[in-house]
Chain A
Amino acid sequence: MRILGLVIVILCGSILIYHTSDFPDWGHPASPASTHVSPYYIEKALDDTAVPNIVTAVLADYRGYDTMFETTVIFCAGIACFFLLRITRRMEPSVTLYRHLPTGITLRIEKGGKEPDDSNIFKRIDTQWVPYDLIINTTCRMVIPFIQLFALYVISHGHHSPGGGFQGGVILGASVILFAISTDLRTAISRMSERLGAFLSATGVFIYAGAGALCLVLGANFLDYSALAPVLNVNSVMARSHGILIVEIGVGLAVMAVMIWIYYNLSSAGRHDEGL
């Protein structure tokens, strides 16, 4: 079976490599990409979509179908991580540590001992002893809102400058991961649960595909945002611009949620109990 697989892989690979010789040379002026595809984008992108950033116009409008499945790939990565790592069976840790907040004394509770309530007086800490990290906590608390604001800026400003849903989503996800690192995993999960992460990642893909399907319902091609013009109450060029923003928001949501979801699973080996 293994040898059969190897033979198939080598066969397919050699066919692919053999046919790369039929490709035009990289940057060849007579290649189809240089003769009509790129010039079309460069000349018409602004008139077609009212988006000054050609990269965004190509990514989310002309090649929207491709980007939709890139988003789906990211969603699949989150799902795969979940199925590979997540341990839903609750494993009792042999030792749990609690900190008595008024005095700073650490309680070590063996298995079977009575655990204090997670209240304002006792706070559970990770088994690898965690000291007070006031500086890191304060700085992160101060910086995280600005990081999130910047992420929203990157998502919404993708029309005019480098950026877009993927980059902004990653920054948003990183801000929550920073929160998880600066406090602990349980606090982060209590703020943004795994269920919310799964829901948002699916929602992001749904927004993208839904925007495409809405165009289909309104009588145009899939992901042809100019059909959204009557819904958005703008002309067809601006409708394409707004359509790009809608799918970028979908991409941003999906990427953010998947980043956080993968982090939760990886950092705690799927237990969502104690991690990094």
Chain B
Amino acid sequence: MMDVIAVILLFCGLFFFTGGAVGIIRFPDFYSRLHPAGKLDTAGLLMAMAGMALHTIHDLSMSSLFTGFKILLIVVFVFITSPTATHAIIDAGVRAGLRPWTKKEKEEHP
């Protein structure tokens, strides 16, 4: 039963990762591309790592519980650092003077 949930979670994670990868390619400009890169990877990691942690604590022994805890720590740190990194990159883009993409602008310069 645990394994089934773990596999479902892993697939959900992969779904988010795929969405992130597609988004990085398909979105029109720098800022909007960072949106899937920052958000979907974080969400996908949460799902995938939760699945792995569930798979690891399968036998409920002390050492496997610790391993699962360590896996969850990865999620905690990525949740702190990944949005900060995205913020820093976007900040750098704004400071360098890159303008956000708008539809209007695209019609003017096709």
Complex: chain B residue closest to A139, CB-CB: B84
State whether the Cβ of B91 lies closer than 8 Å to any Cβ in chain A. yes
Q: Could you mark each residue 59-76 of chain B with 1 if its beta carbon is under 8 Å from any beta carbon of chain A, else 0?
A: 000000000000000000
Contact B87 A135 (CB under 8 A): yes
Contact B91 A139 (CB under 8 A): no
- Complex CA distance for A30 and B81, rounded to whole angstroms: 50
- Complex CA distance for A140 and B77, rounded to whole angstroms: 11
Least CB distance, B99 to chain A, in whole angstroms? 18
State whether the Cβ of A6 lies closer than 8 Å to any Cβ in chain B. no
Given the complex, which residues of B lie within 8 Å of A16, measured CB to CB? Answer: none
Given the complex, which residues of A lie within 8 Å of B22, measured CB to CB? Answer: none
State whether the Cβ of A80 lies closer than 8 Å to any Cβ in chain B. no
Given the complex, which residues of A lie within 8 Å of B77, measured CB to CB? Answer: 143, 146
State whether the Cβ of A133 lies closer than 8 Å to any Cβ in chain B. yes
State whether the Cβ of A136 lies closer than 8 Å to any Cβ in chain B. yes
Interface of A is mostly: helix
The size class of the interface chain B forms with chain A is under 10
Least CB distance, B95 to chain A, in whole angstroms? 7
Contact A142 B95 (CB under 8 A): no
- Complex CA distance for A143 and B87, rounded to whole angstroms: 16
Q: Residue B95 contacts which of A131, A139, A140, A143 (CB distance < 8 angstroms)?
A: A131
Contact A133 B91 (CB under 8 A): yes
Contact B80 A136 (CB under 8 A): no
Given the complex, which residues of A lie within 8 Å of B80, measured CB to CB? Answer: 139, 142-143
- Complex CA distance for A184 and B81, rounded to whole angstroms: 19
Given the complex, which residues of B lie within 8 Å of A136, measured CB to CB? Answer: 84, 87-88, 91
Least CB distance, A74 to chain B, in whole angstroms? 27
Residues of chain A in range 62-96 having any CB-CB distance to chain B below 8 Å: none
Q: Could you mark each residue 28-45 of chain B with 1 if its beta carbon is under 8 Å from any beta carbon of chain A, else 0?
A: 000000000000000000
Given the complex, which residues of A lie within 8 Å of B95, measured CB to CB? Answer: 131
Given the complex, which residues of B lie within 8 Å of A146, measured CB to CB? Answer: 77
Given the complex, which residues of B lie within 8 Å of A143, measured CB to CB? Answer: 77, 80-81
- Complex CA distance for A146 and B73, rounded to whole angstroms: 11
- Complex CA distance for A107 and B12, rounded to whole angstroms: 52
Least CB distance, A131 to chain B, in whole angstroms? 7
Least CB distance, A153 to chain B, in whole angstroms? 11
- Complex CA distance for A139 and B91, rounded to whole angstroms: 15
Given the complex, which residues of B lie within 8 Å of A131, measured CB to CB? Answer: 91, 95
Most chain B Cβ neighbours within 10 Å, of A131, A133, A139: A139
Least CB distance, A275 to chain B, in whole angstroms? 16
Complex: chain B residue closest to A136, CB-CB: B88
Given the complex, which residues of A lie within 8 Å of B84, measured CB to CB? Answer: 135-136, 139-140
Residues of chain B in range 74-97 having any CB-CB distance to chain A below 8 Å: 77, 80-81, 84, 87-88, 91, 95
Complex: chain B residue closest to A150, CB-CB: B77
> What are 19 A-B pairs with beta-carbon distances under 8 A?
A131-B91, A131-B95, A133-B88, A133-B91, A135-B84, A135-B87, A136-B84, A136-B87, A136-B88, A136-B91, A139-B80, A139-B81, A139-B84, A140-B84, A142-B80, A143-B77, A143-B80, A143-B81, A146-B77
**Additional pairs, 13, CB under 8 Å, beyond known A140-B84, A143-B81:** A131-B91, A131-B95, A133-B88, A135-B84, A135-B87, A136-B87, A136-B91, A139-B80, A139-B84, A142-B80, A143-B77, A143-B80, A146-B77
- Residue numbers of A with Cβ under 8 A of B are 131, 133, 135-136, 139-140, 142-143, 146
